[in-house]
């Protein structure tokens, strides 16, 4: 019986590497050399620069070398920690391009033109958006290594970038670094940046952008610890012609103080603190902490009305409200001392009764309580009735106050007649 001879086999293992699995060596220097060479051929024409960058994106790995790309466009070359340009030892090739923010004309119009290079590049290659923001944040941190002129150009184009929403104000967190704060670099940068930003957008847009990233509450951190106060903040920015920024910070501090006051008042009510202690606290808010009568009055009202779980029945909630308010009207009497703060309180009561439907029929009773206890004067009530009321629930509340207002007007006329007879 014959047996089939076995076929010979090769020993060992044969490995086949897929092309997609072969990792490209990370070579930022070669990428830099390629970009700088390409930019040098554009002859300083930014339209050509944009076209070149658009075209090279299909050949060069922008995703991998995004940091190098933006370092070149901002500073002209690869930035080392500290803000210095990385040099090549023996390559003999240029390590820095003249087509960059730092070597461009610092006039605002020219920097706006350079901004368009960033805008077109990121619009074309959307994946570069985050890398752009991260690199700009890093570059802001390296400012100590830049010249005064370079920092000024960087501040201006940052203002343009933020105004146009190409990145978020999150980049400004770099300005709170100690080494920048101590040298005064953060403040000078902020002054130039905000000045540029205000030329592009109004203060409301700036406030909204800063608030969205929670940077608005930290601007004071650009000052050294021993100068970190509202007076120095306002003085610095007003001297630079940036009163809008100073006012924004003042409003921010006032809002913070108002929230804190409201919380403290709420805690005092909850803990059933004595009225004299609470009067002492609100007096301190007015005299030492600089809050206005209207701000403190609103804080008292909000805290007092938020301290109770109100009855859901209209006929019972009025009695409950009046009983509760009787305890705290001495506080309102201390703070609502001018016609302005009294009217603000009356409008606040109107707004509260409108927004809390169970209180619709309670408005007149609450106002009468405040009038009888000399918190709101008859002049303010007449002014509110005539032309200063809110549109919220207008017809309902005017109807409730009609008889009382007529009584006040008649009493005023009778008083005038009596004075005339005496004369």
Q: Are 176 and 221 in contact (CB under 8 A)?
A: yes
Task: Give the number of other CB atoms < 10 A from CB of residue 416.
Answer: 9
Quick one: pLDDT at residue 412?
67
**Per-residue pLDDT tens for 226-284?**
999 989 999 999 999 999 999 999 888 888 888 898 899 999 998 989 999 999 999 99
Confidence of residue 20 (pLDDT cuts 50, 70, 90): low
Identify the weakest region by mean pLDDT among 2-16, 310-324, 352-366.
2-16
Confidence of residue 414 (pLDDT cuts 50, 70, 90): low
Confidence of residue 24 (pLDDT cuts 50, 70, 90): confident
Please give the Cα distance from 73 to 35 (Å, whole number): 10
As a whole-number percent, the residues of the chain with pLDDT over 70 amount to 91
Quick one: pLDDT at residue 14?
54
How far is C-alpha 12 from the chain's CA centre? 66
Question: What is the average pLDDT across 6-12?
Answer: 56
The predicted model scores a pTM of 0.74
Confidence of residue 93 (pLDDT cuts 50, 70, 90): confident
Question: Quick one: DSSP state of residue 290?
Answer: -
Q: Are 96 and 36 in contact (CB under 8 A)?
A: yes
Quick one: pLDDT at residue 21?
46
Quick one: pLDDT at residue 319?
92
Q: Are 334 and 283 in contact (CB under 8 A)?
A: yes
Please give the Cα distance from 113 to 209 (Å, whole number): 23
Among 170, 195, 190, 194, CA closest to 180: 190
DSSP 135-199: HHHHHHHTGGGS-HHHHHHHHHHHHHHHHTTSS-GGGGGGGG-HHHHHTTHHHHHHHHHHHHHHH
Question: What is the average pLDDT across 149-176?
Answer: 97
Q: For residue 82, give both structure tokens.
A: 């500290």
Q: Are 228 and 220 in contact (CB under 8 A)?
A: yes
Please give the Cα distance from 62 to 58 (Å, whole number): 9
**Per-residue pLDDT tens for 367-388?**
999 999 999 999 999 999 999 9
Give 92 or 42, the one with higher predicted confidence. Answer: 42
Confidence of residue 3 (pLDDT cuts 50, 70, 90): low
Burial (Cβ within 10 Å: 0-12, 13-18, ≥19) of residue 76: buried
Q: Nearest 5°: phi and psi at 214?
A: 60, 35
Quick one: pLDDT at residue 415?
60
- Terminal C-alpha separation, the chain: 152
**Per-residue pLDDT tens for 209-234?**
999 999 998 999 999 999 999 899 99
Please give the Cα distance from 238 to 236 (Å, whole number): 6
Quick one: pLDDT at residue 1?
47
As a whole-number percent, the residues of the chain with pLDDT over 90 amount to 78
pLDDT score of 4 more than 50: yes
Quick one: pLDDT at residue 264?
92
**Per-residue pLDDT tens for 325-376?**
999 999 999 999 999 999 999 999 999 999 999 999 999 999 999 999 999 9
Quick one: pLDDT at residue 251?
86
Burial (Cβ within 10 Å: 0-12, 13-18, ≥19) of residue 43: exposed
In angstroms, how far apart are the furthest CA atoms of the chain? 152
Quick one: pLDDT at residue 149?
97
Quick one: pLDDT at residue 36?
96
pLDDT score of 17 more than 80: no
Among 203, 202, 146, 200, CA closest to 174: 146
| Phi-psi group of 310: left, alpha or beta (phi > 0 → left; psi -120 to 50 → alpha; rest → beta) | beta
Q: How many CA atoms lie within 13 A of 117 on its CB side?
A: 25
């Amino acid at each position: 019986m014959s047996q089939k001879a076995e076929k010979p086999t090769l020993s060992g293992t044969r490995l086949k590497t897929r092309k997609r699995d072969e990792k490209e060596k990370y070579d930022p220097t070669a990428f830099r050399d390629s970009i700088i060479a390409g930019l040098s051929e554009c002859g300083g024409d930014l339209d050509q620069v944009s076209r070149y960058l658009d075209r090279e994106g299909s050949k060069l790995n922008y995703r991998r070398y995004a940091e190098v790309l933006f370092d070149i466009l901002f500073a002209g070359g690869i930035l080392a920690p500290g803000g210095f340009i990385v040099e090549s030892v023996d390559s003999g090739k240029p390590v820095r391009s003249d087509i960059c923010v730092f070597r461009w004309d610092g006039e605002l119009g020219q920097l706006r033109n350079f901004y368009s290079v960033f805008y077109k590049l990121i619009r074309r290659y959307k994946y570069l958006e985050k890398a752009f923001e991260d690199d700009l944040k890093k570059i802001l941190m390296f400012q100590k290594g830049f010249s005064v002129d370079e920092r000024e150009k960087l501040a201006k184009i940052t203002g343009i970038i933020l105004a146009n929403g190409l990145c978020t104000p999150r980049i400004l967190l770099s300005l709170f670094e100690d080494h920048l704060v101590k040298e005064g670099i953060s403040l000078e940068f902020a002054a130039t940046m905000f000045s540029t930003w205000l030329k592009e957008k109004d203060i409301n847009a700036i406030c909204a952008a800063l608030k969205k990233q929670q940077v608005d509450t930290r601007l004071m951190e650009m000052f050294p610890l021993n100068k970190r106060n509202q007076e120095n903040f306002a003085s610095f920015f007003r001297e630079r012609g940036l009163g809008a920024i100073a006012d924004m910070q003042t409003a921010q501090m006032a809002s913070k103080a108002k929230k804190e006051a409201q919380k403290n008042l709420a805690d005092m009510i909850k803990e059933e603190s004595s009225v004299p202690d609470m009067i002492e606290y609100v007096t301190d808010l007015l005299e030492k902490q600089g809050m206005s009568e209207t701000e403190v009055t609103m804080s008292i009202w909000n805290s007092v009305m938020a301290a109770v779980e109100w009855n859901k029945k209209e006929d019972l909630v009025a009695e409950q409200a009046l009983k509760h308010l009787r305890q705290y009207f001495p506080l309102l009497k201390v703070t609502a001392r001018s016609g302005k703060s009294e009217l603000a309180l009356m409008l606040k009561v109107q707004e509260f009764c409108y927004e809390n439907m169970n209180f619709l029929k309670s408005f007149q009773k609450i106002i009468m309580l405040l009038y009888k206890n000399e918190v709101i004067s008859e002049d303010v009530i007449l002014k509110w009735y005539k032309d200063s009321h809110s549109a919220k629930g207008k017809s309902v509340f005017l109807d409730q106050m009609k008889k009382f207002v007529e009584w006040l007007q008649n009493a005023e006329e009778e008083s005038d007649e009596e004075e005339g007879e005496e004369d």
